[in-house]
């Protein structure tokens, strides 16, 4: 492979200009959901690369999409990264010379730069209405053309444009992409990548609500934060042309680009929560060690420090990674995120712990004061001897198995669900669909409180949602959460189990039941849509 060559040789010509420039890297997660293992992966690589070069690692919060913002998500990102030991040098909560580090607090900066870009002629206002755009799209689709903006407003007279904007006419701002030719971006791992003009379009830089899109905010911030290396996931490659054009439109130096391979599901698709637990917090709650998860993540694309015999040492800590990791050596095949291997790696770290540290780890994991108190509150009314404590509460501490003991060693499709997971008269498939609806609703739920849980779940036990009776749904949910048909109050129990583990168990149960085929899924989506419509049309009052 030619990776080494590109890493070393292709960066040599610009080493002079780079040498003046301290290494600064960043991650820019958006607070739209649970802190993602992909964020941890990119955080690790970015932090390691920065530290190796005596540089800084910046955390920026990418919250320019107000519609997708989820309350509490930002705090969880901090918490998750800190738990992993991926500490940043500058960020929203600890400041830094270039702040603010939350994009929603930088709107004035973006506005200024929008004006600047407009003046420089790199961008233009677009007054096209959503209706016109929809129509355009429909026409293009009918003609089987690629759907893209037709640059209708690109040549609008600047004065007229300014006048209409001043008059308050709604508009977006678009980037002038090259009308022909191609844009070549240099990737640290892949060398030059030529992106062709035919699939460019004049990207929206500023939305009608005045907020910048990712492209705009990210380029401005990367420049202003003096980011030297943009190390991000492979899915961004096709946007790289837009970014390069933007940097050039501003007249700014382009940082070094490095696109890391994407973490994958077992079927090689991009890692997703449907097919894998993706929340960092899930791994914490499941009892993985930061060192274990970090070690495993480091193995995605890298072999580990070399042994004298030429093989790689697979079990190592952050210190060894800091010493031996080379960004230029990352391999490009999309690594499958394999839970089995993660467990093994974590096991090695766990067993290597000094016994005192192990005791502390268990204490913190199982018997944190606050947790113990809350579990006891639920256990006390239900026990006659202390010996029964674990009988009543084990699912707060241990793992939950949804498959019957006889089948639990078999491959997933052959396992049989424990009693109660699939109610009498329902099929595995129906149960999967019901749980899918629950999953969607609970995923959005914040805070994860028993009252909110109950309210949400009750609403789902309805004709227009699952079509299930509360009894059925709640029992299934109880078994999902506890692996048993009897437990303390379902919603108190769920609250205490917590969102990461609760959602994890939901996912586990769904994986056991088996995801229906694509056709069935489609059919089901349609039926569900129809149910909702008829419920709405029937005058049902819904919140």
Q: Which is nearer to RNA, 52 or 201 (CB)?
A: 201
> Nearest-CA neighbor of 91 among 132, 144, 31?
31
Based on the shown chain and the rule CB under 7 A, indicate whether residue 30 belongs to the binding site for RNA: yes
Buried b (16+ CB within 10 A) or exposed e, 211-242: bbbbbbbbbbbbbebebbbbbbbbebbebbbb
Region from 200-208, 275-283, 480-488, 523-531 binding RNA, contact rule CB under 7 A: 200-208
Based on the shown chain and the rule CB under 7 A, indicate whether residue 282 belongs to the binding site for RNA: no
Based on the shown chain and the rule CB under 7 A, indicate whether residue 493 belongs to the binding site for RNA: no
Q: Which is nearer to RNA, 410 or 469 (CB)?
A: 410
Based on the shown chain and the rule CB under 7 A, indicate whether residue 351 belongs to the binding site for RNA: yes
Task: Find the binding residues for RNA in span 149-188 (CB under 7 A).
Answer: 149, 172
Based on the shown chain and the rule CB under 7 A, indicate whether residue 105 belongs to the binding site for RNA: no
For residue 227, the minimal CB distance to RNA (Å) is: 15
Residue among 129, 404, 427, 485 that touches RNA (CB under 7 A): 129
> Nearest-CA neighbor of 506 among 432, 397, 409, 448?
432
Based on the shown chain and the rule CB under 7 A, indicate whether residue 213 belongs to the binding site for RNA: yes
Phi, psi values for residue 353, rounded to 5°: -65, 140
Helical H runs in 53-129?
73-84, 107-120
DSSP-derived 3-state class of residue 258? strand
H or E element in which residue 126 lies = strand 123-126
Task: Find the binding residues for RNA in span 245-264 (CB under 7 A).
Answer: 261-262, 264
Distance of alpha carbon 429 from alpha carbon 395, whole angstroms:
25
Based on the shown chain and the rule CB under 7 A, indicate whether residue 316 belongs to the binding site for RNA: no
Region from 13-21, 92-100, 232-240, 410-418 binding RNA, contact rule CB under 7 A: 232-240
Region from 93-101, 335-343, 363-371, 388-396 binding RNA, contact rule CB under 7 A: 335-343
Q: Which is nearer to RNA, 190 or 402 (CB)?
A: 190
Say if CB 287 and CB 349 are below 8 A apart: no
| Number of residues binding to RNA, judged by CB under 7 A | 76
Residue among 3, 223, 274, 371 that touches RNA (CB under 7 A): 3
In this structure, are strands 123-126 and 256-260 parallel, antiparallel, or unpaired? unpaired
Q: Report the largest interatomic distance among the alpha carbons of the chain, rounded to a whole angstrom.
A: 84
> Nearest-CA neighbor of 256 among 331, 190, 350?
190
Q: Which is nearer to RNA, 134 or 377 (CB)?
A: 134
Residue among 95, 181, 311, 358 that touches RNA (CB under 7 A): 311
Task: Find the binding residues for RNA in span 62-101 (CB under 7 A).
Answer: 62, 64-65, 68
For residue 420, the minimal CB distance to RNA (Å) is: 28
Distance of alpha carbon 260 from alpha carbon 186, whole angstroms:
14
Task: Find the binding residues for RNA in span 31-60 (CB under 7 A).
Answer: 32
Q: How far apart are the first and last CA of the chain?
A: 57
Based on the shown chain and the rule CB under 7 A, indicate whether residue 518 belongs to the binding site for RNA: no
> Nearest-CA neighbor of 61 among 73, 49, 50?
73
Region from 81-89, 302-310, 484-492, 507-515 binding RNA, contact rule CB under 7 A: 302-310
273 counts as catalytic: yes
For residue 285, the minimal CB distance to RNA (Å) is: 22
Based on the shown chain and the rule CB under 7 A, indicate whether residue 208 belongs to the binding site for RNA: yes
For residue 313, the minimal CB distance to RNA (Å) is: 8
Residue among 269, 380, 404, 534 that touches RNA (CB under 7 A): 269
Residue of 196, 244, 273, 499 marked active site: 273
Residue among 27, 28, 379, 509 that touches RNA (CB under 7 A): 28
Position of tokens 């609806």? 437
Distance of alpha carbon 510 from alpha carbon 273, whole angstroms:
11
Task: Find the binding residues for RNA in span 378-437 (CB under 7 A).
Answer: none
What value, to the nearest 5°, has the Cα angle with vertex 194 and ends 125 and 43? Answer: 80
Based on the shown chain and the rule CB under 7 A, indicate whether residue 301 belongs to the binding site for RNA: yes
The CB-side HSE value for 351 (13 A sphere, CA atoms) comes to 7
**Does the bond joining 527 to the residue before it have cis omega, within 30 degrees of 0?**
no
Residue among 305, 334, 498, 516 that touches RNA (CB under 7 A): 334
Based on the shown chain and the rule CB under 7 A, indicate whether residue 135 belongs to the binding site for RNA: no
Task: Find the binding residues for RNA in span 433-492 (CB under 7 A).
Answer: none
Based on the shown chain and the rule CB under 7 A, indicate whether residue 299 belongs to the binding site for RNA: yes
For residue 283, the minimal CB distance to RNA (Å) is: 16
Position of tokens 């005596």? 54
Based on the shown chain and the rule CB under 7 A, indicate whether residue 116 belongs to the binding site for RNA: no
Distance of alpha carbon 105 from alpha carbon 89, whole angstroms:
19
Query: What is the DSSP annotation of 180-225?
Result: SSEEEEEETTTEEEEEEGGG----EEE-TTS-B-HHHHHHHHHHHT
Based on the shown chain and the rule CB under 7 A, indicate whether residue 237 belongs to the binding site for RNA: yes
Residue among 20, 155, 319, 340 that touches RNA (CB under 7 A): 340
Q: Which residues are catalytic?
A: 273
């Amino acid at each position: 492979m030619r990776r080494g060559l590109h890493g070393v040789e292709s960066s040599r010509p610009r080493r002079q200009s780079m040498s003046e420039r301290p290494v600064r890297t960043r991650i820019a997660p958006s607070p739209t959901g649970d802190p993602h293992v992909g964020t941890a992966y990119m955080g690790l690589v970015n932090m390691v690369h920065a530290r190796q070069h005596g540089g800084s690692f910046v955390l920026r919060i990418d919250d320019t999409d107000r519609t997708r913002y989820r309350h509490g998500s930002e705090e969880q990102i901090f918490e998750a990264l800190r738990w992993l030991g991926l500490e940043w040098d500058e960020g929203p909560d600890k400041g830094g010379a270039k702040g603010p580090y939350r994009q929603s607090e930088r709107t004035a900066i973006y506005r200024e730069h929008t004006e600047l870009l407009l003046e420089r002629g790199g961008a233009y206002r677009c007054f096209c209405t959503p209706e016109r755009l929809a129509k355009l799209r429909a026409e293009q689709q009918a003609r089987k053309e690629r759907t893209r903006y037709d640059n209708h407003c690109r040549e609008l007279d600047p004065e007229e444009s300014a006048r209409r904007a001043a008059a308050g006419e709604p508009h977006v701002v678009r980037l002038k992409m090259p009308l022909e030719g191609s844009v070549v971006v240099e990737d640290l791992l892949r060398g030059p990548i030529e992106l062709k003009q035919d699939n460019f379009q004049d990207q929206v830089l500023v939305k009608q609500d005045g907020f910048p899109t990712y492209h705009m905010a990210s380029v401005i911030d990367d420049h202003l934060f003096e980011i030297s290396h943009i190390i991000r996931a492979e899915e961004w490659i096709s946007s790289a042309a837009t970014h390069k054009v933007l940097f050039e439109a501003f007249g700014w130096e382009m940082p070094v680009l490095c696109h890391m391979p994407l973490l994958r599901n077992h079927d090689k698709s991009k890692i997703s929560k449907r097919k894998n637990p993706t929340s960092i917090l899930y791994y914490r709650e499941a009892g993985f060690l930061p060192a274990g998860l970090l070690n495993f993540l480091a193995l995605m694309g890298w072999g580990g420090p070399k042994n004298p015999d030429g093989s790689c040492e697979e079990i190592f800590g952050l210190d060894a990674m800091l010493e031996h990791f080379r960004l230029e050596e990352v391999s490009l095949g999309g690594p499958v995120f394999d839970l089995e291997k993660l467990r093994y790696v974590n096991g090695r770290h766990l067993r290597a712990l000094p016994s005192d540290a192990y005791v502390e780890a268990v204490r913190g994991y199982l018997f944190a004061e606050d947790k113990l108190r809350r579990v006891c509150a639920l256990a006390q009314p239900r026990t006659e001897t202390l010996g029964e404590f674990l009988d009543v509460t084990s699912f707060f501490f241990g793992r939950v198995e949804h498959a019957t003991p006889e089948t639990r060693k078999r491959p997933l499709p052959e396992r049989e669900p424990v009693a109660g997971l699939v109610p009498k008269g329902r099929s595995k498939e129906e149960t999967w669909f019901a749980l899918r609806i629950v999953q969607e609703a609970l995923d959005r739920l914040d805070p994860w409180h028993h009252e909110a849980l109950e309210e949400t779940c009750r609403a789902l036990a309805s004709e227009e949602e699952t079509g299930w009776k509360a009894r059925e749904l709640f029992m299934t949910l109880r078994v999902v959460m506890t692996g048993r048909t009897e437990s303390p109050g379902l919603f108190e129990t769920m609250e205490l189990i917590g969102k990461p583990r609760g959602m994890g168990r939901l996912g586990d149960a769904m994986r056991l039941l088996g995801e229906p085929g694509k056709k069935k899924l489609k059919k089901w989506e349609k039926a569900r849509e129809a149910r909702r419509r008829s419920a709405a049309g029937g005058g049902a009052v819904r919140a």
